[in-house]
Structure 1
């Protein structure tokens, strides 16, 4: 389905135009990672029906929002995901964040339904350490590896591997993860992610500046992504990005994303929960004004 759009764009009072929507379609998950922030949403929530998901995305597309990332919880828990994907308006980029344990056997149907690519959480290449970080069942690690390969075979590329850096736990595996990424011949990109300490685990916080300097010292090229002004390091043919959301004014200054919680609330900022706008029962006619209201509430969390 396509959407003509209105020509109006949503720009907040700090001059940041919203171009991207990140939507949690469930708060259920088959894992319980030690660092999980549940998209910044606290407390139990219900899942939006497919009709509500479609209406929200259609309203967003009217304002030129053309990038959509679906997340959870674990979005692949929903059996109606393909149905939702087939009904969404056209997007420049339609992606999914998943732990990939449920991806094997489903990647092709997701691609056929309109999904462009996947982000896959993989914090370690050690199966025992993986179980410890994710609190997952035996065999999950192997299913994730199978899911990565199936995503590549289905064309859900580039696959982005999300590796949350955890001090003294996996921060010594960056080189191994780069080798793993490199083995897929350019179809996999590594994203190193600074820990956002929602679960009070400060012992795992890494020194982000040290990581940045380490990447810079071994890279042959450094590029800046137009979308988020985020640096991409090219290291012996592997591509790696470092996502630094903590105490980072540049991250906030270039934020162009509006979030939707699993129970249908527009969330202007991941780190703020007292300014959300409920759209769960809104009509198609009401949604545009509610989007305008949510964007009017956007304030950079990290202000200089």
Structure 2
């Protein structure tokens, strides 16, 4: 459906857990005091599927399964399959840290997962440990290899941090030379712990990349549902993407809304405004057809309201105007 600014909103990021098996220093570092959501407050898979059905009615046909780390939730792959089989659903993708990807890849392939985004900020195991708190670098690399072998499209998401991994940007981009993988550099989002970090701007990276590869050219082909701008380097199997939240404002092309693990619809990552979808399930409980139909009517109404209230643009470049105060782990990224 169209929002007030004539943007087509056809994509929902759906968080299925706030739990994670890593402790990344810019997201959920060791010692961070964020209360774990009690399981009764977490949307069930059945509720998530009902929400997806209502979203399809509103023209939302593409879904990204996120977390936390989605693969730590039991039966995640089965949920992906059920979501993909819903009438009208065109695409189901996932964002993961990759640690559990290898052991789940066969089930995810069978479920029909269309693509996977893997977070990988370094090629050095010791730096991976410093960033994430765990010695799981090999698991992530093997997960990427297994996903490629299974024929699932892969993107690598990289966030650079000064004094930590900022000297590895060229080596990380080199993954796209050797493998059919898109490597995307994401500017540090000024949400939660991300506000504490110095942003490495993608404009700087792109300029440096162009100096090394003067034959680099813009890649205008469709790579997915995100706001990345891509370039292609001759001889590379994949492309290099840039998600520039601060100076590369992409709001005019935004096509998404978010659903948190506790059932809050978020029109925009930057702002704290949400719409509580759990109230619908509380008001119209039951498994009979009448209750289901009432829930669908209310869910459709709430999703439409969320889309129509979507703001024209974020304000990440003006920290004082950001109203989202929760951590990224709480809102699904």
Same fold (TM over 0.5): yes
Superposed displacement of residue 216, structure 1: 3.6
Query: Which residue does the alignment assign to 1:191?
Result: 184
User: Which segment drifts farther, 232-241 or 217-226?
Assistant: 217-226
Superposed displacement of residue 303, structure 1: 9.6
Return the match for 2:297 from 285, 291, 296: 285
Between Structure 1 and Structure 2, how many residues are aligned?
285
Quick check: 1:115–1:156 contact (8 Å CA) kept in 2? yes
Superposed displacement of residue 281, structure 1: 4.3
Matches within 5 A, 1:53-92: 53-88=48-83, 89=86, 90-92=88-90
Q: Distance in 2 between matches of 1:31 and 1:121?
A: 11
Point out where structure 2 has 5 or more consecutive residues left out of the alignment: 281-294, 318-333
Return the match for 2:13 from 10, 22, 26: 22
What is the root-mean-square deviation in Å for CA atoms of aligned residues?
Answer: 2.2
Quick check: 1:215–1:233 contact (8 Å CA) kept in 2? no
TM-score with structure 2 length normalisation? 0.79
Query: Which residue does the alignment assign to 2:168?
Result: 173
Partner SS state of residue 239, structure 2? strand
Partner SS state of residue 97, structure 1? strand
Q: Does 1:222 align with 2:218?
A: yes
Query: Which residue does the alignment assign to 1:301?
Result: 314
Q: Does 1:265 align with 2:264?
A: yes
Partner SS state of residue 292, structure 1? helix
Quick check: 2:13–2:258 contact (8 Å CA) kept in 1? yes
Relative distance call for 1:152 and 1:200 in structure 2 (3 A) is: closer
Query: Which residue does the alignment assign to 1:150?
Result: 146
Superposed displacement of residue 200, structure 1: 5.3
Matches within 5 A, 1:240-251: 240-249=240-249, 251=250
Quick check: 1:195–1:205 contact (8 Å CA) kept in 2? yes
Partner SS state of residue 240, structure 2? strand
| 1:194-235 Cα distance to aligned partner (Å, 9 max, x none) | 011331554542133212322344252212356556421112
TM-score with structure 1 length normalisation? 0.86
Superposed displacement of residue 109, structure 1: 0.5
Q: Distance in 2 between matches of 1:208 and 1:153?
A: 30
Quick check: 1:247–1:302 contact (8 Å CA) kept in 2? no
Q: Distance in 1 between matches of 2:107 and 2:262?
A: 26
Quick check: 1:35–1:196 contact (8 Å CA) kept in 2? no
Quick check: 1:225–1:231 contact (8 Å CA) kept in 2? no
Q: Distance in 2 between matches of 1:37 and 1:61?
A: 32
Query: Which residue does the alignment assign to 2:329?
Result: none
Quick check: 1:127–1:141 contact (8 Å CA) kept in 2? yes
Quick check: 1:22–1:70 contact (8 Å CA) kept in 2? yes
Partner SS state of residue 166, structure 1? coil
